Amino acid sequence: MLAALGIWLYIFFLSGVFGLIALRMSKLFFTSKSEDNNQDDSLPPLAILLISGLGIVTALAQFISLQSATGLLTNLFLTITAFVYLLIDRKFSAKIISPYILSIKNIKLVPLILGIGFVALGLHQLSAITLSADTPLYHALSIKYIENHSVIPGLGNFYHRLAFNNSWFVSCALFSFSFLGKMSLNVMSEFLMIFGGFWMLGGLNNILSGKFVAENWVRLGLIPIFLYSFYFPHIGWSATPSPDVPTAVFTWIIFHRFFEIAKNKKRFELNSEFLLLIISASFLVSIKLSAAVILLLPFVVLALSFKKYKKSVLVAIVVGAFIMTPWLARNYYLSGYLIHPFPAIDLFSPDWKIPKDIALAEKNTIQRWAKWPGWFKKPKNVELEDLEYGQWFEIWLANQTLPGLELSLWATLLSSSAVFLIGIIVLLRQQKRYFVEHGAMTLVFLSLFLSWIYWFWAAPDLRFGWGVHWINLNICLFFIASLLLKKVSLEASTQLTMGISTVSLITLGYLIYAHYEQVSARYKMFASGQVSEHILMPKDYPTSFSLKVVEGKVGDAFYENSIYDAPLPASISSAMIGKAVPRGKSFEDGFKDGGTEK
């Protein structure tokens, strides 16, 4: 636990410093004689600064991972760079950091106590076992390859899931400190529990300070579902390096900030903060491609601004490309495609390329599993292809275990429809003035709704849409509520806040009650005395007790159904190992698909 505290502070430090570097560079590039009027000197929210900083840190680590293992040297490079920057640009850094530090004195007692509770809960979770089914299948193993080796060409031919590249695994490898030789410290989901919890409590703190606005209610309303995400068995965020966790948390924070800007400023400006938002959104997409619709909003803003602000738009595009390029490069090396498993983008033909039919089969398997997983209770002799949409939806909904899911789906659909209906009415009244006053907000809601529709159409697994579903629902509901309660008194606002807080607590209690047996069983996994055994170090990954070894073409290889972080090279089956053809004398040289051999 103490080791985790040190790592979390280290993540906070690196993310903060590289966020400052991004802020400094954006102010340099975005300030010119022709664009001075387009500047905004206000500071970005700390959460956005940290996400963008973490995105830059991860992008740099990914560049290095193309040639080297992600370990001591990468950490030294990033740490030295951070300290050198602070030394060189200390005046600017002090100017930016001071307001954030001074804001600490404005923290109210209740959020402070709850914040300490989030830290304690995060530390407690370090003794948990993962509930994520994918962590023993490939999460932990993917991270181990990154920790110990540079990117291996065609690794997806050795084990197909190792080609499911995402930048979060590089973040986890960077901060696992496995190079110390003790263990791979799996502490990132708990870091996000504290990071996300602090951000949500910031909304509560604002409300207690008398700021009764929709954007603060949104943050408060997310707390119960956020906490439940770590215990609901199907989501199971605890003790897992799954990319589903940052995808949801970052989606909430980024979309919330887009909403906040549109509501308060009426338009999106090409200023320093918008560049940080582009970095954050690009980082999010490199973590989970299903979040790609979030880039619609900055894309439209940049397209509309290009004629007047060419320099700023080009800088924003270059910065976004900087975040995405190493992720695309790792995709290319692992699978032979820029985006895997989407073989429609087929630009290269390296010898390690995963055959197109296999890549397409992987894509179809993912989408089919999201719509028709093996654990569903289904009618006999009925396949997905035999069903109309309404028939499939009825079966899909009947198999979901989240209490109140159907209600939340209908609430999202109806509240989104109500928002667009309000927009149409205002458009008919204001006509030409509409897009000047409400264009930014329209773009936010359009991006939210399209993200939600895309999730449900493409891969409607709750894990994949957890972020966009709840932020869409909360923003729509509280936006409508703010319109209805626009002229309420301060006393009424206070009562409303207490009511929302009470409903949030009741919701959390109901969710836990509805899954009491599963949640209780989960806590039994915290064996007696286990927490006290992890005062210094968090719980390690479970050992693969039935690990098997096979003589491969580049030496011994290991395989097991729950592979975790077995010795390398490791895969999930002997058949897959036997099919892969080495490109050289060592497995670090990569693998070709056996079907391509003459």
Give me the DSSP letters along 451-497: HHHHHHHH---HHHHHHHHHHHHHHHHHHHHHHHTTT--HHHHHHHH
CB 352 within 8 A of CB 336: yes
Model pLDDT, residue 15: 97
Return the exposure string of 158-169: e unless at least 16 CB atoms fall within 10 Å of the residue's CB, then b.
Answer: bbbbbbbbbbbb
Angle at 501 between CA 247 and CA 471, to 5 degrees: 25
Burial class of residue 536 (count of CB atoms within 10 Å of its CB; 0-12, 13-18, 19+): exposed
CB atoms within 10 A of CB 594: 13
Write the CA distances from 223 to 201, 226, 375, 399, integer angstroms: 8, 5, 29, 25
Distance CA(340)–CA(361), nearest Å, equals 11
**Residue 71: which residues within 8 A CB-CB, separation 6 or more?**
147, 148, 173, 178, 179
Q: CA–CA separation, 504 vs 50, rounded Å? A: 27
> Would strands 570-571 and 555-559 be described as parallel, antiparallel, or unpaired?
parallel
Give the pair of three-digit tokens for residue 101: 């530090």
Q: What is the pLDDT of residue 552?
A: 63
Q: Are 271 and 30 in contact (CB under 8 A)?
A: yes
Three-state DSSP at 129 gives coil
- The pLDDT of residue 535 is 67
* Ranges of the chain whose pLDDT falls below 50: 32-40, 525-529, 596-598
Own/partner long-range contacts of 519-525 (Cβ < 8 Å, ≥24 apart): 519/231, 522/128, 522/131, 522/231, 522/233, 525/128, 525/129
**CA-to-CA distance for 339 and 168, rounded, in angstroms?**
16
Distance CA 293, CA 289 (A): 9
Give the number of residues written for the chain.
598
**Residues forming a β-bridge with 551:** 556
Segments in 211-355 forming alpha helices (H): 214-229, 244-265, 272-287, 296-305, 310-335
Contact 219, 204 (CB under 8 A): yes
pLDDT of residue 384: 82
**Structural contact between residues 207 and 490, judged by C-beta atoms closer than 8 angstroms:** no
Q: Name residue 552's beta-bridge partners.
A: 555
Q: What is the tens place of the pLDDT at every residue in 305-318?
A: 898 888 889 999 99
Quote the tokens at residue 44.
Answer: 């970005």
Residue 305 structure tokens = 């601004």
Note the pLDDT of residue 177: 94
**What one-letter code names the amino acid at 46?**
L
Listed residue (498, 446, 491, 495) closest to 472, CA to CA: 446
Our CA dihedral for 464, 465, 471, 473, rounded to 10 degrees, sits at: -160
Residue 57 CB neighbour total at 10 angstroms: 25
Task: Name the 3-class secondary structure at 177.
Answer: coil
Angle between helices 188-208 and 214-229 (to 10 degrees): 150
User: How big is the chain by its Cα radius of gyration, in Å?
Assistant: 24
Dump pLDDT digits (tens) for 530-561: 555 566 677 777 766 567 787 766 677 877 77
Task: Give the DSSP H/E element, type plus range, for residue 103.
Answer: none
**Rounded distance between C-alpha atoms, residue 175 and residue 412, angstroms:** 37
